[in-house]
Structure 1
Amino acid sequence: MLKAPASCEIAVERWRDGVVERTTDLVADEQPVALTYHGVPHVVMLATPGDLEDLAVGFTLSESIVASPAEIRSVEALRAEDGTLEVRIGIARERFSELLRRQRNLTGRTGCGLCGAETVEDAIRNPPPVGAGVTVSARELHAVLAELRSRQPINAETGSVHAAAWVLPGRGIELVREDVGRHNALDKAIGAVVRSQGDFGQGYFVVTSRASYEMVQKTVTLGATLLVAVSAPTAFAVRLAQASGLTLVGFAREHSHVVYAHPRRVT
């Protein structure tokens, strides 16, 4: 497994109350990461260089490159001789053939969302409606939000990364992944759930970002039934949540939240 620091120390001048102090600060690292399928480049994204196998698995599944985790055959993160980061993914033969047919150029920015899609159909997928899923009490949800703050070590050091948590009702936070990109953080959490053989129908995701369309799309694609965001959703995201049966929560805090779609799962 590739090990790389998530932050680096930078010399800074800190101004406070008119006093200048020369010191150092920890800054979140951000590096280009190439995902390749059977040696064929597919996407280059800017990401925090940690949990890259989780990122690759989550991206592969949430972007519908494969239909199920069983179709992911192998995943290996490595640093090439020139220092660049690459994750090599092997998938089922028929899925790889399909990928080659519809391959698009996704080379982009941190959490670029729908960038690189060649057609509206490529960008706006309509996943099938989700099932019955989970329910959670407001009290439990608020407790999760309170706990999440202490489960973000990279953000505690740097103040500049997003987190995505996977939560099981009645058991609390199972895992947390962090990244400079909100989509990357969610994909890392998705990949971690897959690699720990979790069931997306038995839990829900909490993200420390806004709930954009693609965040809802990724969640629905997996069959998860509840997405909780610390910030606001977009109207496009709300419409997808309403159409797909996903419970969408925004402005989630330790003592409050707003439900934008299908409130029956938050009691």
Structure 2
Amino acid sequence: MIAGTAAHAFTRTGADGSAARIDRHLAVEMPVAVEFGGIGYAVLMATPCDLADLVTGFALSERLIDRNADIVDLDEIERDNGIVVRATLDRRVIGRVADRVRHRVSESSCGMCGIENLDQALRPLPAATTTWSGDAGAVFAALDALDAHQPLNRVTGAVHAAAACTTTGEPWLVREDVGRHNAFDKLIGAMLRAGRGWDGGFALLTSRCSYELVEKAVLSGCPMLATISAPTSLAVTRAAAAGLPLHVLARRDAVLVR
């Protein structure tokens, strides 16, 4: 069985009235509690694989760390009702956690629901530090190749993927999760932990282009963000302000460029 899946029994009912019992693999979704420096920070509803990548990418997206070395240690503790991931942060950045927690009033995987004021919800983004020099052909190539890099979705049909792609559209690293935010955080965290950069390439996400994904792309230094579904107005506004190019509503025959 593929990690992150669980088998469940169903009755398959046909339009002709036929019925048959089948077993199907489902994507696991469970609470993952994240602690930074002993402080409970968030509970993410996630697929329980690549959790070290998830927490590392999440910490970067939350602006709690700047580099992988800022996480001194990571421990995963399995509980009956979920998993706790405890991250020990370097003394240089540990103060950011308490400051950020003061502005969070609930726990959420989306990054917005737990923020108590508008200034914190829409903090200014840094300007994009890299330049995208590719073209739409790379996006089409990545779309054609992505299916082969999604083993979890191939079995369950229920998860998102985030892919780091070369300038020519070859996916070289992919992470999957039931949550689109989690998938991207896993990808960003995996790259950070491996000491790999975007090298002029781009990210391809199997989701809509929401403002949070734009922010994660900018904060990770991604040169361009491509998504298979349409963007929201806020995503376009935030991307334009940061200088992040977008390729959205990507299909195998056309893509919208912004």
TM-score calculated relative to the size of structure 2: 0.92
SS at match of 2:183: helix
More deviation in 86-95 or 143-152? 86-95
Aligned to 2:56: 57
Which one of 236, 239, 249 corresponds to residue 238 of structure 1? 236
Which one of 145, 152, 155 corresponds to residue 153 of structure 2? 155
Aligned to 2:78: 79
* Structure 2 CA distance for aligned equivalents of residues 174 and 106 of structure 1: 36
More deviation in 151-160 or 227-236? 151-160
Which one-letter code corresponds to 2:51 in the other structure? L
- Kindly report structure 1 stretches of 4+ aligned residues shifted beyond 4 Å: none
- Report the count of equivalent residues: 255
Q: Deviations over 1:46-99 (max 9, x none)?
A: 10010000000000001101233332222232314x453111112122422221
Which one-letter code corresponds to 1:230 in the other structure? I
Which one of 72, 75, 98 corresponds to residue 100 of structure 1? 98
Alignment of 1:154-173 (within 5 A): 154-170=152-168, 172-173=170-171
* Structure 2 CA distance for aligned equivalents of residues 83 and 116 of structure 1: 22
Query: RMSD in angstroms over aligned alpha carbons?
Result: 1.9
* Structure 2 CA distance for aligned equivalents of residues 66 and 9 of structure 1: 37
Q: Does 1:229 align with 2:248?
A: no
Cα pair 1:34 1:41 within 8 Å, conserved: yes
Q: Deviations over 1:171-225 (max 9, x none)?
A: 7211110000000000000001111111145331110000101110111112212
Cα pair 1:51 1:188 within 8 Å, conserved: yes
Cα pair 2:130 2:221 within 8 Å, conserved: no
Q: Does 1:141 align with 2:136?
A: no
* Structure 2 CA distance for aligned equivalents of residues 84 and 41 of structure 1: 14
Aligned to 1:211: 209
Q: Does 1:45 align with 2:44?
A: yes
* Structure 2 CA distance for aligned equivalents of residues 144 and 128 of structure 1: 27
Using a 3 Å threshold, how does the CA distance of structure 1 residues 209 and 53 change in structure 2: closer, same or farther?
Answer: same
Using a 3 Å threshold, how does the CA distance of structure 1 residues 133 and 72 change in structure 2: closer, same or farther?
Answer: farther
TM-score calculated relative to the size of structure 1: 0.89
Q: Deviations over 1:14-57 (max 9, x none)?
A: 11232111111111110100111122211111100100000000
SS at match of 2:116: coil
Aligned to 2:66: 67
- Aligned identity (percent) is 37
SS at match of 2:217: helix
Cα pair 2:53 2:188 within 8 Å, conserved: yes
* Structure 2 CA distance for aligned equivalents of residues 227 and 41 of structure 1: 31
Cα pair 1:164 1:207 within 8 Å, conserved: yes
Cα pair 2:130 2:200 within 8 Å, conserved: no
Any gaps of 5 or more consecutive residues in structure 2? none
Which one-letter code corresponds to 2:228 in the other structure? V
Q: Does 1:112 align with 2:110?
A: yes
Which one-letter code corresponds to 2:107 in the other structure? T
Aligned to 2:11: 13
Using a 3 Å threshold, how does the CA distance of structure 1 residues 58 and 106 change in structure 2: closer, same or farther?
Answer: farther
Structure 1 residue 149: Cα displacement: 1.5
